[in-house]
Amino acid sequence: MAAFSRLKRVLEQRCWSVPELHRRIRGTGQQINLKSLYRLTDAEQAVERLDLRVAGAICQVCEVPLSDWIVFEAQQEPECLHTLSREQQARLDVLMAQHNKGALTPPEHRELELLVRETEELMLANARSVAKQVQQSGHINCAVCPQVIELTVAGTAQFR
């Protein structure tokens, strides 16, 4: 469960911009950081901390209760990272070792190319998944992080 801001929707209903909200808050004698207001207009970013002074000023100026613009929703689970099957990884290891010795047959070389291509596609999909998670939450889930490092190091070591 995470908190999300719907301040952008509240401002759109009033035809106000963030600078207009900031101006109105300052008109009440309160000093609020403009960047804090901009951060609260991102509906996709979970609100990890909320300064109650800022929340109170928004509620006062917009004449809305906190529950109108802060909502609690279940967060999506991060996507699992994908890897080759154990059999595919074992075969890739064998083929790469043979390739390093210069002992690959043409059919084995094609098989190696296909496995390398599949591995690259998996790594790209994993990178996109992690980038999406970082964009949405601002950090990488610690449960996923070791896999990312392992895949990156393994991929770099194997494909250089």
pLDDT in tens, 40-50: 998 878 898 99
Give the up-direction half-sphere exposure of residue 34: CA atoms within 13 A in the CB hemisphere.
Answer: 7
- For the chain, the structural domain boundaries read 2-73, 86-159
Look at residue 154 in the predicted model and tell me its pLDDT: 44
On whether the pTM is more than 0.75, the answer is no
Stretch 45-70: mean pLDDT: 94
How far is the C-alpha of 37 from the C-alpha of 35, rounded, in Å? 5
Look at residue 149 in the predicted model and tell me its pLDDT: 43
pLDDT in tens, 85-111: 899 999 999 999 999 999 999 999 999
Q: With respect to CATH, is domain 2-73 assigned 1.10.260?
A: yes
How far is the C-alpha of 83 from the C-alpha of 122, rounded, in Å? 7
